[in-house]
Amino acid sequence: MDVTPITALQRQERAQANGGAPTLEFERQAPYDRYVRASTLHALQTPLSDDPGEMSFLMVSQVMELYFGLIRYELRHAQDLLAGDDVWASLAPLRRSALHLEALNASWQGLRWMTPAEFNRFRDLLGEGSGFQSAMYRHLEFTLGLKSEQLMRPFRGQPKVHAELRESFEAPSLWDETLELLRRRGLADEPEQVVQAWVTIYADTGPDNHLRLLGEALTEVAQRFGDWRYHHLQSVKRAMGAKAGSGGSAGLVWLERSMARTVFPELWTARTFM
């Protein structure tokens, strides 16, 4: 990335030299474009039809892909901090993840206009393309602890992608790292002790109980992720009803079954006993 750093003093001097106006002349590509790669991003939209609605569908899908990657990045950072026993520091990336999930959920609003007739105008051109085939979404699920080996099969024809998914699948998840933390703290040596561990943690309402704050941060992530799955279901229901999915699934039935897989299950079960 060819971006030249500048200091606070240089920024102040530039503002004074410009009389408070922005710099308008650059010898090369504008620094913003060099950093954000905006021209590259805007070159990635290649609709398959002339239907104006397809651009919304394509761009919203691309925005979601970027958010999948960002959320996974934050969760893995939180996971590394938990592995290092730094519960307090892990709260920041977990809270950011929840906010990113909130923004991801808002992306569905850009598709609320779509009726079945409007979707059908370009749907056939998508072939067998389906969000089910998003590798980054699978990475995100694996990071959250929702692991299914069969969901890697669509990527066998992409060796690099498949190998990365295999690595993600076999690595400890964020939830695995959380359970290991509880074990190190002497709260849950066995799987059947995890629910009681959270009941015990939540019983201490003091401000220094970082594990309770961790539980709430994880719960927020799980709930926002559940919101995304619900919005996905509603969006599909609105645009295509109970038709078969493009990727060969039963559409709504498949999504409803997927929603039954709970993120951080013991954390939710423990609430019954609090």
Asked whether the predicted pLDDT for residue 182 surpasses 90, the reply is yes
Asked whether the predicted pLDDT for residue 28 surpasses 90, the reply is no
Q: Does any domain span residue 249?
A: yes
Q: Does any domain span residue 121?
A: yes
d(CA 42, CA 70): 19
Q: Does any domain span residue 33?
A: no
Better pLDDT: 58 or 243: 58
Q: Does any domain span residue 72?
A: yes
Asked whether the predicted pLDDT for residue 1 surpasses 70, the reply is no
- The domain that holds 201 is classified in CATH as 1.20.58.480
How crowded is residue 10: how many other Cβ atoms within 10 Å of its Cβ?
A: 10
Query: Which pair of structure tokens corresponds to residue 66?
Result: 């970027």
The predicted model gives 21-31 an average pLDDT of 90
SS3 124: helix
Q: Does any domain span residue 248?
A: yes
d(CA 269, CA 19): 61
Q: What is the pLDDT of residues 69-94, one digit of tens each?
A: 999 999 999 999 999 999 999 999 99
d(CA 152, CA 171): 14
Q: Does any domain span residue 182?
A: yes
Q: Does any domain span residue 139?
A: no
SS3 209: coil
What distances in angstroms separate CA 19 from CA 6, 9, 11, 15, 151, one per listed residue?
19, 15, 12, 6, 58
Looking at the structure of the chain, the number of domains it has is 1
Q: Is 126 exposed, middle or buried (0-12, 13-18, 19+ CB in 10 A)?
A: middle
How far is C-alpha 115 from the geometric centre of its chain's CA atoms?
Answer: 26
Q: pTM score > 0.85 for this model?
A: yes
Give the domain extent around 64: 50-128+173-273
Closest C-alpha among 157, 154, 104 to residue 134: 154
How crowded is residue 182: how many other Cβ atoms within 10 Å of its Cβ?
A: 20
d(CA 41, CA 37): 6
pLDDT at 254: 80
Q: Does any domain span residue 234?
A: yes
Query: Which pair of structure tokens corresponds to residue 135?
Result: 């590798």
Q: What is the pLDDT of residues 121-175, one digit of tens each?
A: 999 999 988 888 999 999 999 999 999 999 999 999 999 999 999 999 999 999 9
